[in-house]
C-alpha cells in the first residue's frame, strides 16, 4: 500500500468507526504530515489502517458504533423440530432476524447448529415448524461450494451470471468483495491449488457477491489466520450496516459482543433448550 | 534490552515523557518522535505517539492548533496546559517514588 492508499483506507476505517468527520480530517491530515516529514512505510509507522483507526477512535473517545435501527424481519424460524431416527436434533428452536442485524448460532458440537442453518436455507425440511425468508437468500456452507478446476474469477462470473452481470462486471465485483477479506484473488491459479483458508474466502466472497438480503454462514472462517478472521468480522459489520440480515454459526464465543442476537442450541439436561430461552440481547 | 518489557514500561510513562518535552516549548508529532529518539527513549512510531497525544488533548493536559510552520506545510502544534504542568509534576514525583525502590532492589541483588 502506498501512503495515499493507506491514508484513504485509514479515512474509510475512521468513518466506519463513526469518528466525527471533523476529528477524522485532522487525524488523517496529521498522519499525512508525519509521513511527509519522516517517510517510511505507513503500515510500519502506523500499522494496519483498521487497527490504527481503532486506536484513534478509542483515544478520541468516539461513541461506539450506534446500532442502526433494525429493519423489517427478514428471517423467521418458528418451532423448528428435527429428528434423525429416534434422535431429536432440534426441538422447538426459533430465531427472528431483522435487516441490519447479526445473529449467532452457538452450542456444542453435534447440537444441531448446521442442521438449523440448513433448514433456514431450505436445504432440508424440518419435521415441525416453519421458516419464512423475505428477500434474496445467500448461504455459505462450512466447506465445499467451490469448484477445483475453475479459477476464482470464473466463480465470480458464474455467480454474476445468475444476477445478469456481464463477465467483466462480475469479475470486478468479485475481486472487490475478495479484497474486503484482505484477499487479492489471483487471475491464474486454479481453485484446487488454493489453500483451505483461501478457498473459504472464495466461498464467502461468492455468498456475499449476490448481495443477498439474508446471509447464512456456517462457520465460514475455518482455516483463516487471525488477521483474516478480524477482517471477516469487520466485513460482517459492514454488511449489517448495509442492512443485511446475517446468521452465523460459530463455536467461538469471543465475538458475541458484536452480534445482536444469540441462539444457543446447547442441550440443557439432554434436551435442546427452548429456542426462545436462547435469546440474548445486545451487550 | 528485552523489547517487550521495554514496551510495557514505555506504555506507562510515554504520556509523561511527552508532557516533559512540551514543558518548555510547543511541538508537533514528528518533532516529538525525533526528540524522544534523541533523548534516548528510542524510536517511537506514529501509531504509538498520536493516540497518546489525542488522549492528552482529550483530558485537557495539552491543547493543539494547526499552524503553518516557519518552513513546510501546516502542522498540528501541541502546547502543555496548566493542568498538564500539574500532571507532569505529580507524575514526576510518582515516577521517582516508584523507580527508586525498584532500582534499590535491583542493584542490591546485583551486588550480592
Q: What is the dihedral of CA B58, A69, A215, A221, to 10 degrees?
A: 20
Calpha distance B52→B66 (Å, rounded): 18
The count of CB pairs under 8 A between chains A and B is: 59
- Output the nine-digit C-alpha cell for A92: 422447538
The contacts of residue A21 (CB under 8 Å, 6+ apart) are A15
Contact B54 A45 (CB under 8 A): no
The contacts of residue B16 (CB under 8 Å, 6+ apart) are B87, B88, B91, B92, B95
Query: For residues A191 and A155, is the Cβ–Cβ distance under 8 A?
Result: yes
Q: Report chain A residues whose CB lies below 8 A from the CB of B11.
A: none
Q: How confident is the model at residue A62 (pLDDT cuts 50, 70, 90)?
A: low
Contact A47 B47 (CB under 8 A): yes
Q: How confident is the model at residue B47 (pLDDT cuts 50, 70, 90)?
A: very high
pLDDT of residue A254: 64
What number is the average pLDDT over the span A14-28?
89
Residue A64: pLDDT over 70: no
Q: How confident is the model at residue A30 (pLDDT cuts 50, 70, 90)?
A: very high
Instruction: Find cell 528485552 and name the residue.
Output: B2
pLDDT of residue B50: 96
pLDDT of residue A274: 35
Of A50 and A162, the structure prediction assigns the larger pLDDT to A50
- Listed residue (A77, A134, A128, A87) closest to A275, CA to CA: A77
Contact B45 A45 (CB under 8 A): yes
Q: How confident is the model at residue A269 (pLDDT cuts 50, 70, 90)?
A: very low
Q: Report chain B residues whose CB lies below 8 A from the CB of A24.
A: none
Q: What is the dihedral of CA B40, B44, B48, B54, to 10 degrees?
A: 70
Q: Report chain B residues whose CB lies below 8 A from the CB of A26.
A: 66, 76
- Output the nine-digit C-alpha cell for A158: 458464474
Using a CB–CB cut-off of 8 Å, the residues of A that contact B are: 26-27, 29-31, 33-38, 44-47, 51-52, 55-56, 58-61
**Nearest-CA residue of chain B relative to A54?**
B51
What number is the average pLDDT over the span B25-51?
94
Q: How confident is the model at residue A278 (pLDDT cuts 50, 70, 90)?
A: very low
Nearest to B58 among A33, A35, A61 (CB): A61
Read off the DSSP letter of residue A191. G
Contact A37 B30 (CB under 8 A): yes
pLDDT of residue A277: 33
Here the ipTM equals: 0.83
Contact A34 B30 (CB under 8 A): yes
Question: A73-84 and A87-98 as β-strands: parallel, antiparallel, unpaired?
Answer: antiparallel
Asked if B10 is an interface residue toward chain A (Cβ–Cβ < 8 A), one would say: no
Instruction: Find cell 464467502 and name the residue.
Output: A204
Q: Report chain A residues whose CB lies below 8 A from the CB of B75.
A: 30, 33
Burial class (CB in 10 A: 0-12, 13-18, 19+), B24: exposed
Chain A interface disruption, residue of B7, B18, B44, B54, most A CBs within 10 A: B54
Q: Mind listing the pLDDT tens digit for each residue in A88-139?
A: 999 999 999 999 999 999 888 888 999 999 999 999 999 999 999 999 998 9
Distance from CA of A31 to the nearest CA of B (A): 8
- Listed residue (A178, A208, A176, A172) closest to A191, CA to CA: A178
Residue A276: pLDDT over 50: no
Residue A161: pLDDT over 80: yes
Distance from CA of B84 to the nearest CA of A (A): 17
The contacts of residue B53 (CB under 8 Å, 6+ apart) are B18, B29, B32, B62, B64, B78
DSSP A192-207: GGS-HHHHHHHHHHHH
Query: For residues A234 and A202, is the Cβ–Cβ distance under 8 A?
Result: no
DSSP A30-88: HHHHHHHHH-S-HHHHT--HHHHHHHHHHHHTPPPPPPPPP-SEEEEEEEEEEEETTEE
Read off the DSSP letter of residue A220. T
Contact B50 A31 (CB under 8 A): yes
pLDDT of residue B27: 95
Question: A137-140 and A214-218 as β-strands: parallel, antiparallel, unpaired?
Answer: parallel
Contact B54 A27 (CB under 8 A): yes
CA-to-CA separations, A217 to A43, A115, A250, A259, in angstroms, rounded = 31, 12, 9, 14
Q: Mind listing the pLDDT tens digit for each residue in A184-240?
A: 888 889 999 988 888 888 988 888 887 899 999 998 877 787 777 878 888 888 889
Q: Mind listing the pLDDT tens digit for each residue in A227-246?
A: 778 788 888 888 898 899 99
- Listed residue (A71, A124, A122, A99) closest to A244, CA to CA: A99
Average pLDDT, chain B: 90
Q: How confident is the model at residue B30 (pLDDT cuts 50, 70, 90)?
A: very high
Contact A29 B76 (CB under 8 A): yes
Residue A75: pLDDT over 50: yes
Residue A12: pLDDT over 80: yes
Q: Mind listing the pLDDT tens digit for each residue in B80-104?
A: 999 999 999 999 999 999 999 999 9
Distance from CA of B98 to the nearest CA of A (A): 26
Asked if B7 is an interface residue toward chain A (Cβ–Cβ < 8 A), one would say: no
* Model confidence, pTM: 0.54
| Whole-number percent of chain A with pLDDT over 70 | 89
pLDDT of residue A270: 39
Average pLDDT, chain A: 85
Nearest to B76 among A26, A58, A59 (CB): A26
Query: For residues B62 and B78, is the Cβ–Cβ distance under 8 A?
Result: yes
Amino acid at each position: 500500500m502506498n501512503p495515499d492508499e493507506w491514508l484513504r483506507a485509514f479515512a474509510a476505517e475512521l468513518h466506519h468507526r463513526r469518528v466525527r468527520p471533523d476529528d477524522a480530517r485532522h487525524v488523517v491530515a496529521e498522519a499525512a504530515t508525519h509521513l511527509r516529514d519522516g517517510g517510511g512505510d505507513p503500515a510500519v509507522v502506523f500499522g494496519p489502517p483498521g487497527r490504527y483507526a481503532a486506536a484513534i477512535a478509542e483515544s478520541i473517545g468516539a461513541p461506539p458504533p450506534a446500532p442502526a435501527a433494525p429493519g423489517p424481519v427478514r428471517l423467521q424460524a418458528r418451532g423448528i423440530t428435527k429428528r434423525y431416527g429416534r434422535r431429536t436434533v432440534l426441538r422447538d428452536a426459533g430465531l427472528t432476524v431483522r435487516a441490519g442485524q447479526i445473529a449467532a448460532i452457538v452450542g456444542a458440537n453435534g447440537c444441531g447448529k448446521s442442521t438449523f442453518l440448513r433448514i433456514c436455507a431450505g436445504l432440508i425440511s424440518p419435521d415441525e415448524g416453519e421458516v419464512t425468508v423475505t428477500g434474496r437468500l445467500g448461504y455459505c456452507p462450512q466447506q465445499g461450494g467451490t469448484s477445483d478446476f475453475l479459477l476464482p474469477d470464473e466463480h465470480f462470473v458464474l455467480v454474476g451470471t445468475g444476477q445478469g452481470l456481464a463477465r467483466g462486471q462480475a469479475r470486478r465485483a468479485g475481486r472487490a468483495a475478495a479484497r474486503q477479506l484482505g484477499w487479492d484473488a489471483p487471475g491464474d491459479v486454479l481453485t484446487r491449488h488454493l489453500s483451505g483458508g483461501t478457498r473459504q474466502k472464495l466461498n464467502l466472497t461468492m455468498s456475499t457477491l449476490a448481495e443477498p438480503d439474508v446471509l447464512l454462514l456456517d462457520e465460514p472462517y475455518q482455516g483463516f489466520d487471525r488477521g483474516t478472521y478480524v477482517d471477516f468480522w469487520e466485513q460482517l459489520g459492514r454488511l449489517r450496516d448495509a442492512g443485511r440480515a446475517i446468521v452465523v454459526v460459530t463455536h467461538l464465543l469471543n465475538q458475541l459482543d458484536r452480534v445482536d442476537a444469540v441462539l444457543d442450541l446447547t442441550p440443557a439436561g439432554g434436551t435442546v433448550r427452548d429456542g426462545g430461552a436462547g435469546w440474548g440481547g445486545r451487550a | 534490552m528485552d523489547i517487550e518489557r521495554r514496551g510495557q514500561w514505555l506504555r506507562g510513562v510515554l504520556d509523561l515523557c511527552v508532557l516533559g518535552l512540551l514543558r518548555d516549548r510547543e511541538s508537533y508529532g514528528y518533532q516529538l518522535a525525533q526528540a524522544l529518539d534523541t533523548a534516548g527513549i528510542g524510536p517511537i512510531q506514529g501509531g504509538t505517539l498520536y493516540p497518546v497525544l489525542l488522549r492528552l488533548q482529550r483530558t485537557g493536559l495539552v491543547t493543539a492548533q494547526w499552524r503553518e510552520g516557519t518552513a513546510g506545510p501546516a502542522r498540528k502544534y501541541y502546547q502543555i496546559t496548566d493542568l498538564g504542568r500539574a500532571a507532569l509534576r505529580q507524575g514526576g514525583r510518582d515516577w521517582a517514588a516508584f523507580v527508586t525502590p525498584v532500582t534499590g532492589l535491583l542493584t542490591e541483588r546485583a551486588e550480592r
